[in-house]
A = this chain, B = another copy of it.
Amino acid sequence: MTDFQRTLLTGAAGELGTQLRKSGTKLGKTVRLSALTPFDDLAPHEEDTPADLADFDAVSEAVKGCDAIIHMGGQGLEGPWQKVLDSNIIGSYNVYEAARRHGVKRIIYASSVHAIGYYERTETIDANVPTRPDSLYGVSKTFTENLARYYFDKFAIESACIRIGSCFAEPTDRRHLITWLSYRDCRQLVEKALAAPRVGFMVAYGMSNNSEAFWDNRSAAVLGYKPQDSADDYREKVLAKTKQGDPNDPAVRFQGGSFCAAGHYEDEHK
């Protein structure tokens, strides 16, 4: 479905990376995997170029020869500042700057609900609201969204930033009934962002067809995204296993969930 010749997948050894590999050549005629270490299970259409995202030369080597990037790599949840800085801030800069130097045309970026986690759960927001990160991790996601906007406005490198809700095998808590993104729907979003004739710079929300929703995901409509899964199918099971939360608990009140209830990482991990 896409005409890209060679697509780099960063974070290819992570959970999302592993799921995305299942999309095969829908990601590109050749898919180049990148993680800290080499892969021993490459498919015929796959190749790999290990790289530490914090190392510009390694990233540049991985990007060279690609015309598209799916940037899933980096620190995937709150962590110490140095880790967030190296993986998500320096790492994203390395990816975008290497993309510019090597003529990459489009980047699909795994942004996060935590870029807007401090909106109240009862607010319906679209992709244009001011960001309200709920963690240093969330701040790093807003950094990369802004970086992507800059590289598009100045250098015409397209970016689709997908603010992923909760991408797991199945929803396990009540907030997931809103934010869940199935692996299959995640793959569809990425595939369609690669197949679309034009994405320019866009931000979309990554959620399945859940009845509960606090996102107006109209920006995803231009991709033709049509989720096939729904957290509704797990609703009874989740309700049975969990209790109704306290509405004044920040983890219940805000869209970012437990990230909003947590203190500063360094305080909590001394």
Q: A145-161 toward B: CB 8 Å interface, digit per residue (1/0)?
A: 01101100111101000
For the complex formed, measure the closest distance between the CB of A252 and the CB atoms of chain B, giving whole angstroms: 5
A sample of 10 more A-B contacts (CB under 8 A), given A132-B153, A197-B247, is: A118-B154, A122-B222, A124-B221, A130-B130, A143-B143, A155-B264, A177-B224, A178-B222, A178-B224, A212-B222
Total copies of this chain within the assembly = 6
**CA of A245 to CA of B93, assembled, Å:** 28
Q: Mark A1-44, 1 if CB is under 8 A from B, else 0.
A: 11100000000000000000000000000000000000000000
**8 A-B pairs (CB sep. < 8 Å):** A85-B93, A100-B264, A122-B222, A134-B150, A138-B150, A142-B146, A177-B224, A197-B247
Q: Which residues of A contact B (CB under 8 A)?
A: 1-3, 81, 85, 89-90, 93, 97, 100, 105-106, 118, 120-122, 124, 128, 130-136, 138-139, 142-143, 146-147, 149-150, 153-156, 158, 174-175, 177-178, 195, 197-202, 210-214, 216, 218-219, 221-226, 232, 235, 239, 243-245, 247-248, 252-253, 260, 263-264, 266
| Across-interface contacts of A201 in B (CB, < 8 A) | 122
> Which B residues lie within 8 Å of A85 (CB)?
89-90, 93
Contact, CB under 8 Å: B154 / A147: no
B150 contacts A135, CB within 8 Å?
A: yes
Contact of A121 among B174, B198, B210, B225 (CB under 8 A): B198
Contact between A197 and B174, CB atoms less than 8 A apart: yes
B211 pairs with A224, CB closer than 8 A: yes
Q: Please, which residues of chain B bring their CB within 8 A of the CB of A153?
A: 118, 132, 134, 260
Given contacts A139-B143, A244-B3, contact A214 B222 (CB under 8 A): yes
Partner of A133, one of B146, B245, B252: B146
Known: A100-B264, A143-B143, A223-B212. A121 touches B197 (CB 8 A): yes
| Residues of chain B contacted by A158 (CB below 8 angstroms) | 247
Contact of A146 among B121, B143, B211, B245 (CB under 8 A): B143
